[in-house]
Amino acid sequence: MRHLLIAAALLAAAARPALSQSLEALWYSTDAEPSRRSFLAHADRIAIVAPQSFSMDSLGVISGRVDPRVVARAREAQVKLVPLIVNPGFDQAMFHRVLATPESRRRAVRNITALCRDNRFDGIQFDFENISVADRDLFTAFARETADSLRTIRCSFSAAVVPRASDFPGPTSYHAWIYGNWRGAYDYKALADVMDYLSLMTYSQHTRRTPPGPVAGYPWMEAAVRHLLALGVPPEKISLGLPVYSQWWYATHDAAGGARVTGNGLAWEAARGLLAKNGATPIWDERQREAYAFWENDGQYEWLFLEDARAFDARLALARQYRLRGYSVWALGQEDPSVWSLPRLR
């Protein structure tokens, strides 16, 4: 009976009209100059800017800064500033020490709270990745402690979370590995209960450890969204992660790693230049709702999966279909400029 109720709720959420829904637009920024320039130019189309600016060490000490130009433009345009805090290099062992050491954890909570208060940020977003599934409960407890502290200063709190489409580790050793180290550590419902929202990072579906494939295939993204909804995460607490980088796949060889296939993320201009250089025409995949191209390089085929404005618009439709809070885009400066002209952007 419970499964029937969940299925009915998902169908109802997908069927509700959402044409007039306003989507909260969160865009991530980096320290790269093109990222800063894009924010300065398009701040009027953005609700939240989330600079990847701060890192935390094993003692719970936080370091970093937000570019003053980004701060000034955000204040001027009334864009909320919600910087990220990361475990540098997504170091699993380092982050485990924070979670498992009471003093480090307390210090981290104090420092996170002071960071938001002293800089007058509108919020803080966790971007802790490569967390062991064995640390799932510790991470949830750390999130609760941080939420309690941030609530006292009225600082919003969210997390960027790695997606999964089920709680089954998967059919292969790769699936088991990525579940145990990347996907399985997030108790989505418990995190959503104490946070304002979750930014569901539904991109990098294929990585350097997989065969070539879409950056963010539509069926995979939809399955991840439906999983959160089935767990009881309210749609208004889900921000759909959207990529604007493309991915180029090609063969490489070096002394350390030998021969392998490499997936290299590309900003829009670089992806467009690569297509022109190789005389390749993108093909639209209606199922994945993403374009791809391939060409021969001295007998070896190379692939490009392209994130253009058409793909971006299709994913906006997914956010509207499930009446989600909004979308979280990685990252400013990498986008097809045409996305800024999309009528459904906000």
Residue 120, Cβ neighbours under 10 Å: how many?
10
Residue range 26-42: average pLDDT? 97
Phi, psi (5° rounding) for residue 121?
-75, 155
For residue 298, the model assigns a pLDDT of 94
Q: Is 305 helix (H, G, I), strand (E, B) or coil?
A: strand
Q: Where are the domains of the chain?
A: 2-244+309-337
Residue of 61, 44, 73 lying closest to 114 (CA atoms) = 61
Say what the pLDDT of residue 346 is.
64
* pLDDT computed for residue 180 by the predictor: 97
Higher pLDDT, 18 or 313: 313
Question: Which fold is adopted by the domain 2-244+309-337?
Answer: TIM Barrel (3.20.20)
pLDDT digits (tens, 9 = 90+) for 111-170: 999 999 999 999 999 999 999 999 999 999 999 999 999 999 999 999 999 999 999 999
**pLDDT tens, position by position, 17-26:** 444 569 999 9
